[in-house]
A and B are shown apart, each in its own frame.
Chain A
Amino acid sequence: MKAAMRRLAFVLATVLTVAISLSPLAAVAVDDPSEMLPDAHQEARAQAIGSQLRCLVCQNESIEDSSAGLARDLRHVVREHVAKGESDRQIMDWMVGRYGNFIRLSPPLTAGTILLWVMPVLALLVGGLVAFLSFRRARGSGPAPLSDDERTRLTDLT
């Protein structure tokens, strides 16, 4: 609660909008172009890294999409490090060292997040298995299946 209160005030202070609707709300990130790196290739890299980093105060945007003060600072940091020639990995580690895995919009694969990452395969496997089993059962179940007419009569009887 307290943290929520404080965050709320932070949000107000930075003239962000506090949401009370059922649709996504966010600050309007119109940046200062002077923030951007002159080298287009480096700038693209910085944007790619930035879009993987969560804006910590606005909860559901990447720092590239937010105009919150902290997001702006972090964008700046990313660009500084890119300009210094650091690798994506180094920059990510720098961020995680300060803010933990919370800052990564795509969580790293760890023992705790294994279920998350295998979910696509797991869901398909379970779905496929259930379908396969019911196909097999339906085919292998006893005498010849009832015809449509028989079934209708049967349901009328029961």
Chain B
Amino acid sequence: MSDKTAQPDLTRRRLLMAAPLVVAGGAGIAFWQMLSGMRQGSFDPHDIKAPALNRPVPDFTLPDQSPGQGFGAVDLRALKVPVLVNFFASWCIPCVAEMPQLNALKDRLPIWGIAYKDKPADAQGFVRRAGNPYARIASDLSGMTAIDWGVSGVPESFLIGPGGVIRWHSAAALDEATMHDILLPLAASLRT
């Protein structure tokens, strides 16, 4: 291999030819971070991250969903203690899976349910069977309130701080770990 080009030119050439490697390497590192983040649960490319967080709850009033009493933004804003608002539906499979967690939670943090696009009779049966974790239940038959909250699917949970501000949001079914490590400490801090 003999170099036929002038020296400074060659250095520039070397830098130019290394550029693809640098770009690919950067992309590779980013992909690795994404994959390991996905594995640990810290990175979720499918998370919509709706902007409801740290905003007051949107205006709404919803009717009763038997066996609970309906509620609206006014009730949430009048609260002195944190409350978990949980959107659910009887036709949603992860909602069923979430119920034991909600039942375990209900004595430490009041849960208000909103039945999303569900026939009142179906929702009623579902809540009865699940052991009713909800202090109050409202019915969002049209699904329009859910849209105002930025809900993209059920179940979805929002932690409402005193004064009716959304403090925390989860677009997935609650599990034990999230409940103990994130939700309850946050709710406790909001209480004081």
Q: Do the two chains touch directly in the complex (Cβ atoms below 8 Å apart)?
A: yes
- Take A10-B92, A10-B154 as given contacts and tell me if A2 and B173 are in contact as well, using a CB distance cutoff of 8 Å: yes
Instruction: Decide: B2 and A6 in contact? CB cutoff 8 A.
Output: no
When C-beta atoms are compared, the residue in chain B nearest to A141 turns out to be B5
When C-beta atoms are compared, the residue in chain B nearest to A137 turns out to be B9
Q: Is A152 an interface residue (CB 8 A)?
A: no
When C-beta atoms are compared, the residue in chain B nearest to A100 turns out to be B51
Instruction: Decide: A99 and B50 in contact? CB cutoff 8 A.
Output: yes
Considering the complex, which residues of chain A in the window 3-20 have a beta carbon less than 8 Å from any beta carbon of chain B? 3-7, 9-10, 12-13
A-B contact pairs, 19 of them (CB 8 A): A1-B44, A2-B172, A3-B47, A3-B172, A4-B46, A6-B172, A7-B46, A7-B153, A13-B92, A13-B93, A56-B153, A73-B144, A98-B148, A98-B149, A99-B48, A99-B51, A100-B50, A102-B49, A130-B16
Q: Which 7 A-B pairs have the closest CB atoms?
A: A2-B172, A9-B93, A56-B152, A10-B153, A6-B94, A3-B172, A98-B150
Give A51-62 as 1s and 0s: 1 = Cβ < 8 Å from B's Cβ atoms.
Answer: 000001101000
B residues lining the A interface (CB < 8 Å) = 2, 5, 9, 16, 38, 41, 44, 46-52, 91-94, 117, 142-144, 147-150, 152-155, 171-173, 175
Chain A positions within 8 Å of B51 at CB level: 96-100
When C-beta atoms are compared, the residue in chain B nearest to A14 turns out to be B91
Chain B positions within 8 Å of A99 at CB level: 48, 50-51, 150, 152
A residues lining the B interface (CB < 8 Å) = 1-7, 9-10, 12-13, 56-57, 59, 69-70, 73-74, 77, 96-100, 102, 130, 137, 141, 158
Chain B positions within 8 Å of A10 at CB level: 92, 153-154
